[in-house]
Amino acid sequence: MATPEERMMENLYWWGVPTLFRCEHDTDPANCDIGLVGVPHSSGNGTTEKDQHLGPRAVRNVSATARRVHMDFGFDPWEGTKINDLGDVPLPEANDNEASIQRITDYFARLDAAGTRPISIGGDHSITGGIVQALGGGKLAGGEPISFLHIDAHTDVFAKVPHFLGAKKSAAHWGAYLADQGQVDPKTSMQIGIRGNPRTMDWLQPSYDYGYNVVTMKDFRRRGLADVIAQTKEVLNGRPVYITFDLDSFDPTVAPGVSNLEPGERGFQVDEAMELIRATRGMNIVGGDVVCLMPTRDNSNMITARTAAAVMFEMVALMAERKS
């Protein structure tokens, strides 16, 4: 039991040994209901934006200051739910994207077998492919393909190019190959906030061809938050859901420390993104991730890392509330 002095110090991010939200560090997934995982992977982005592997450490450094109770839910997720920091996925072939993706899949297969729901901090967006290769059709999903709540500036369904500067299971491909492999059902998945800098007039066509329910940022602004939330609830209803949140879906003024800034069109504000995530409240959320944090591009207040922690907390609260 922590002393009052220790509890006071635990709110200071620069004090003590950093773990995600000051959780106990225990690498055995069998010892928790929700496992917080770092996935320090950068070689799936296929560009020079390589510092995304520093994301897990940055969030550990600041997450002590993050919220502990959910005032909107009237709920303390840490009571009655065992939540541990499982540490980082070991990636000894870090510069070999394909080997690393397989390592990620093997790691998360252990969590699925233990019935532990993972919430991960990346890492570039290729990590979602590695994670969902383990979860799609697995124990947590009840043997079914998962359905995505995918919040992002980009579709990551770039099936028309075979690789991204050498990376085949890259940050730009997982939305396609997971569907091809049967681990994801696009027709019961949502892609929201798409506004990336297009290079061709048909840049969204692969998502439409696969059957993803796409809500571009222009669609979102035209339709409004409530209408998009209603569609999300209808599409995901009754499905095993995986939430993947790319920080570049935020407006650059909100989250400057990301690898692929999209300044040409206004992105999400924090309250909008949080309400979209909460559309899954009460659903069977089998896992989630927050990706594309680039601490070397963040400002001196580490605002992007802090915002990443806030998104992770939202996922923690949703999973813990359903369990309780």
pLDDT tens-digit series, residues 55-101: 999 999 999 988 889 999 999 999 999 999 999 999 999 999 999 99
How much is the pLDDT for 317? 98
CA 301 to chain CA centroid, nearest Å: 22
Q: What is the pTM of this model?
A: 0.96
Place of tokens 């796409």: 214
pLDDT at 186 over 80: yes
Please write the tens of the pLDDT for every residue from 206-242: 999 999 999 999 999 999 999 999 999 999 999 999 9
Q: How would DSSP label each residue in 264-318?
A: TS--B-HHHHHHHHGGGTTSEEEEEEEE-B-GGGS-TT-HHHHHHHHHHHHHHHH
- Architecture, CATH, for domain 31-323: 3-Layer(aba) Sandwich (3.40)
pLDDT at 163 over 90: no
Which tokens is 6 given?
């220790």
How much is the pLDDT for 9? 80
Closest CA to 181 of 103, 129, 125, 120: 129
Dihedral sign (CA 257, 163, 208, 282): negative
CA distance from start to end of the chain: 23
How far is it between the farthest Cα atoms of the chain? 61
The one-letter code for the residue type at 7 is R
How much is the pLDDT for 180? 97
Residue 56 parent element (H or E):
helix 55-62
Percent of the chain beyond pLDDT 90? 83
Length of the chain in terms of residues written: 324
pLDDT band at 48 (very low <50, low <70, confident <90, very high): low
Strand order in the sheet with 147-151: 24-25, 83-88, 34-39, 117-122, 284-291, 240-246, 147-151, 190-194, 213-216
Please write the tens of the pLDDT for every residue from 14-43: 788 899 999 999 999 999 999 999 999 999
Q: Rounded distance, CA 83 to CA 35, Å?
A: 6
Structure-model confidence comparison of residues 251 and 165, the more confident one: 251
Q: What is residue 95's three-state secondary structure? A: coil
Q: How would DSSP label each residue in 189-214?
A: -EEEEE----SSTTTTHHHHHHT-EE
How much is the pLDDT for 254? 95
Which tokens is 22 given?
């000051």
